[in-house]
Each structure stands twice: as C-alpha cells, then as structure tokens.
Amino acid sequence: MVGIILASHGEFANGIFQSGAMIFGEQANVKPCTLMPSEGPEDIRKKMEDAIASFENQEEVLFLVDLWGGTPFNQASALLDGHEDKWAIVTGLNLPMLIETYASRFSMEKAHEIAAHVMQTAQEGVQINPKELEPKEEKKAEVSAAPQGAIPEGTVLGDGHIKYGLARIDTRLLHGQVATAWTKTVGPNRIIVVSDNVAHDNLRKSMIEQAAPPGVKANVVPIDKMIQVAKDPRFGATKAMLLFETPQDALRAIKGGVDIKELNLGSMAHSQGKVVCTKAVSMGSDDVKTFDELLAMGIKIDVRKVPTDSPENFDEILKKAKTELK
C-alpha cells in the first residue's frame, strides 16, 4: 500500500488528517507532518523521514503538501531526490484530494498513478455558490511557435536599468513566506537567488527553481554574475526580487554595483558562535561588522518576516548582538 505524508505549515495537516478519518475511517500508513512557527526546515524534514521509516512499504510514497514553494514542499522535494521513479508530490492539499487518495489506494499500487489521478478531483473540489460567480473561460491567445532567441548584447530594454522590488536576507531563501506573501506584495517577474554556495549546489539550485510561484521565474546566480546583470541594459524590463543567504553576500553585491538602497531582513539561522537576537535572527561577530558597514553606506535595514508585520527596531537588535558578543 502506498504510504501517504500530509505536510503543512501549522496544524493544517493534523486537522485534515482528522477530517479524513471522520469521513473515510482510520487509515494505515498515513502520517501528518507539521511545520510549526518555532520550527525550521530540518524539523519537518526529520518528521517526514520518521514517517517514511514507519511505513510498511517505503518504496511507494506520496506527499500531499499544502503549498508549492513552501518549506514543507521544499523539504519533500529534497527527500524526493533519487526516488523520482517511485515517489511523488502533489500540492494544493484539500479534503476532496485526500478522500480520493484514500479510495485510490484500494485499486492503485503506485504513488505516480495515484498522484496523476487525484489532480482532477482536487480541482473539481473547488466550487462556488452561486454558480454565476464562476469566472467564464477565456480563449487562450495563440502562442507563436517561432523560437525566441537570446536578446542581442547591447540591446536596451525599458530604461536599461533592472528594478529591485525587494532585496531580502533570509537563510531559507525561497520558501512559503517569500513565494506567497512577498511575491504578491512586490509583484516581481523574476526571483533571483544571489549566492555562490547555492549556485554551485545543483540540488539546492534545482529545488529553488522548482519552488517559483506561478507566473514568476526563479534563477540562482553567483554574486559576480548578479553584478554583471545589474549593469546589463537587457534587464531594463525586469522587476526582480533578490534573495541573499547572508548579509556578507548582500554587501559584496552592493559594493560591486548592485543598486540596493534597502534590505529586508527576514531570518538568519543560529549556529555556533552566534547569539540569538530575535526569534528569527541570530548574529555572529562578522554579521555585526557587516551590518555596521551596510549602515555606514546608507543602506536601510527593514526587519520583517512578512509584509503585514510591523517593522522591528534594527538598531536595538544590533545593539543586543554587540552586547552579547562581548
């Protein structure tokens, strides 16, 4: 029997697991895995690994995940690596999808087969009452089959200057808060992860490119490449969201000519030698030095996890780091 993992932000996975039991009865080889506000990517990954280890058949595993591009999806994608021939992920988890998945296990023995089958049921489960509110289908414009070649060097698009809707420091880079809340607020047409480390890590690079929200392209580039892009007039029609893993990467990009006036600070993970400054931000001595340099250059630091948060006082956060690192 195919093992099923229900993965979500918060208690949603537990709730829908309970709802499924109420409708379809208790099910074996099904485990809800939740990412709670106080937890990080490694926590939900461990929960998923433990769930898989408990399944009778670990060869066939289906992940039903709440949100494409979120941390549960990203960690499921990492586990999927090397198992693509047997395992599968379906996002947009809803109750019709779950019930159909349970029913399908009686006649289907492959995770891929069930994943392909339940997509339509999940989509049909989204209904509107009254029916008149349903959007009318529009004819899709015909797309030219002519190949779209590379833009010739020297071409100027727009005003010739790339636009930065947001530049963010976030250890987790592209995850649920970024893929949904920030993308909807900023409206970029391209998300660019600027990191030498990630650019040379094929697995992480692939996961980030897959996690891009609909209608937005995601790229991973080394810092020097981003400096070149910032000076290339062919990107004048691009509105970008830049994601940096560390303040050091951001500083290097800015020094190289990437015209950023403000940095959003989302999260900086704790590690040895760092002190906890807030629930989401930890700093070491090199981080403090880097932020001092950024501030001296006139760069504003906006501390918010999501757009609706009230900005935190960065001066107080930096002061706390300096005090505790003495």
Which is catalytic among the residues 112, 117, 175, 200? 175
Encode 275-293 in three state secondary structure: EECCCCEEECHHHHHHHHH
Residue 70 is classified by DSSP as S
What b-and-e string marks burial along 201-233, b requiring 16 or more CB atoms within 10 Å of the CB?
A: eeebbebbeebbbeebebbbbbbeebbebbebb
User: Looking at beta carbons, which pairs linking 153-157 to residues 24 or more positions away fall under 8 Å?
Assistant: 153/234, 154/233, 155/233, 155/234, 156/233, 156/234, 156/236, 157/233, 157/234, 157/235, 157/236, 157/237, 157/238
* 175 catalytic per annotation: yes
How many other C-beta atoms can be found within 10 angstroms of the C-beta atom of residue 141?
Answer: 6
* 200 catalytic per annotation: no
Supply 103's token pair. 């029913």
3-state SS assignment for residue 193: strand
Asked if the peptide bond before residue 130 counts as cis, ω within 30 degrees of 0, the response is yes
Q: Residue with structure tokens 């020297």?
A: 154
What is the distance between the alpha carbons of residues 222 and 230, in angstroms, rounded to a whole number?
A: 13
Picking from 195, 172, 171, 203, the residue whose alpha carbon sits closest to that of residue 77 is 203
| Angle formed by the axes of helices 247-255 and 223-230, nearest 10° | 40
Which is catalytic among the residues 9, 83, 112, 270? 9
How many other C-beta atoms can be found within 10 angstroms of the C-beta atom of residue 74?
Answer: 25
Active-site residue list: 9, 175
